[in-house]
Amino acid sequence: MSLPRKQILEAVAKAREVATARNFEQSFDLAVNLRELDMNRPDNRVNIRVQLPNGVGARKVLVFASGDLALRARRAGADTVVEPAELDQLATDKKAAKNALKDYDVFIAEAPMMPTVGRVAGPILGPRGKMPTPVPPQAPIDNIIERERRTVVLRSRDKPFVHCIVGKEEMSDEDVAQNIEAVMTNVTGATKRGFSNIRSVFLKLTMGDTVKVY
């Protein structure tokens, strides 16, 4: 079983209708409640990365890298590149580190830097589910940045639900619906009984009321 496209499109339209207009672009947020899964058992927990077919609009990318990879990351359009000297400086000031990282959506790290990145940024990014994706120094960083901008993380931990962004207000209803379908396909694929483990699905814009999808 899967959610009919028509049903998803109706929910997207309704979410727009019940949202309060704001002077900033709002996001579509999807919440999926699970059932009949013992979340105290790690093998029942959802922890997946989903590439959304239509992305979610502009997302700010920070890359921890050195040398050639740092140079290529800048050329590839990374919003910020943090090199080892700057990372060492952030390690001495937790408040500065938190401020330096707070405005970014996507994090990528050169693999050799991961031990330091984990020590400095881990306590800040881990609870937000935004730990950097490690890549080798010779990685095709342009392709990786593009991929990571489209990727969302769904993690249930010990609670029976997952949630993620699935679009921005400027996107068409059809594009948002396709993103929702991609999320649902991956969530049902990550649970033992597929759609039978889905209790309910809700959608909302940032400043809007919640709309039931399923």
Boundary residue ending a domain (106, 134, 149): 149
CA-to-CA distance for 68 and 96, rounded, in angstroms?
26
In a domain, 52, yes or no: no
pTM for the whole structure: 0.85
* pLDDT digits 0-9 by tens, 93-135: 999 999 999 999 999 999 999 999 999 999 999 988 889 999 9
Give the count of domains, the chain. 2
Return the biggest CA–CA distance within the chain. Answer: 53
Whether the Cβ atoms of residue 151 and residue 166 lie closer than 8 Å to each other: no
In a domain, 54, yes or no: no
Residue 157 confidence (pLDDT): 85
Residue 208 confidence (pLDDT): 94
Boundary residue ending a domain (149, 164, 195): 149
* pLDDT digits 0-9 by tens, 22-74: 888 899 999 999 999 999 999 999 999 999 999 998 889 999 999 999 999 99
CATH number at residue 179: 3.30.190.20
1 pLDDT higher than 80: no
Residue numbers of the domain that contains 95: 61-149
